[in-house]
């Protein structure tokens, strides 16, 4: 009896399929793998198969759009996604002062200072001081309409930003002043819209020399560029701010307050 037992052991030792790492090859292959389902009953009558299939078909049709794959997107969708990708890529490349570790990180404080020249608080405060010290009706008229334009800019930018809720290209926490002016999101760029509106306002209602007029236009452009360099806005956010600022100026021109109206408003306080 011992001799017959040694032969099978010797054959099992030489058999490759008997090794532990190849034991799965000796298992029989299942003819059909059943899909894993939860709470499935072991046996379902044949008459309920059609109702289950119909219920699964209805559930698959009710999936949200973000869970569905668009196998044939439209040309408009492809073009829009391409433009958004280019906008994000170029904005990140131009964000050279986004943090201290960036390529131009040492100039971040100076670039932020350029953006502060178009902040809402300095402009509103300066306009109120000038309006309080103004003694001419023409000056009060211009300053009162400028104050109206600044308030309109803050409300418009805050409303559009709250509606779109676009994030900045870099993860940045807005400052306390941004929270007070409701300038939290990226689109549109409030500093760019304000700089465009103010520069256009001064060009139309103040008599300035040609060098000063050129400096006003360059100032509005540099303010928008500085917001991209510090990583606060995308390129499209700044361009949208330029457009909104120009439209706001045209609206203020349509709603221009007369000298009598401005004198009545200033007499209230």
**What is the crossing angle of helices 235-254 and 210-229, to 10°?**
140
Two tokens at 104? Answer: 């131009």
Residue with tokens 């178009």: 118
Dist. CA 95–CA 225, nearest whole Å: 10
Whether 205 sits among the annotated catalytic residues: the reply is no
> Which of the following is catalytic: 119, 205, 233, 234?
233
> Which of the following is catalytic: 119, 191, 205, 234?
191
Whether 233 sits among the annotated catalytic residues: the reply is yes
Dist. CA 203–CA 212, nearest whole Å: 9
Dist. CA 39–CA 32, nearest whole Å: 20
| 166, HSE (Cβ side, Cα atoms, 13 Å) | 21
E-strand ranges in the chain read: none
Residues 6+ positions from 95 with CB-CB distance below 8 Å: 102, 169, 170, 228, 229, 230, 231
Residues 6+ positions from 229 with CB-CB distance below 8 Å: 94, 95, 96, 97, 98, 104, 111
Dist. CA 99–CA 46, nearest whole Å: 66
Cα–Cα–Cα angle for 135, 255, 237, nearest 5°?
A: 105
Enter the DSSP assignment of 173.
Answer: -
Residue positions annotated with a catalytic role: 191, 233
């Amino acid at each position: 009896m011992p001799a017959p037992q040694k032969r099978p052991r010797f054959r099992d030792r030489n058999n490759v399929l008997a090794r532990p790492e190849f034991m799965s090859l000796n298992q029989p292959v299942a003819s059909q793998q059943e899909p894993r389902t939860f709470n499935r009953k072991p046996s379902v009558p044949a008459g309920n198969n059609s109702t289950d299939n119909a219920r699964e078909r209805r559930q698959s049709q009710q999936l949200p759009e973000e869970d569905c794959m668009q196998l044939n997107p439209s040309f408009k969708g492809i073009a829009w996604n391409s433009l958004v990708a280019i906008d994000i890529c170029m904005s990140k490349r131009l964000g050279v002062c986004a943090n201290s570790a960036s390529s131009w990180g040492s100039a971040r404080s100076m670039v932020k200072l350029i953006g502060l020249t178009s902040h809402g608080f300095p402009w509103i405060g300066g306009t109120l001081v000038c309006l309080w010290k103004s003694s001419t009706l023409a000056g009060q008229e211009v300053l009162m309409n400028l104050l109206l334009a600044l308030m309109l800019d803050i409300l418009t930018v805050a409303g559009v930003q709250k509606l779109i809720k676009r994030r900045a290209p870099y993860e940045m926490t807005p400052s306390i002043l941004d929270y007070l002016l409701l300038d939290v999101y990226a689109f549109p760029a409030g500093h760019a819209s304000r700089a465009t509106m103010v520069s256009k306002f001064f060009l139309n209602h103040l008599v300035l020399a040609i060098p000063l007029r050129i400096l006003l236009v360059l100032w509005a452009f540099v303010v928008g560029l500085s917001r991209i360099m510090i990583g606060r806005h995308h390129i499209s956010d700044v361009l949208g701010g330029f457009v909104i600022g120009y439209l706001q100026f045209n609206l203020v021109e349509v709603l221009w307050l007369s000298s009598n109206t401005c004198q009545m408003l200033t007499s209230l306080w």
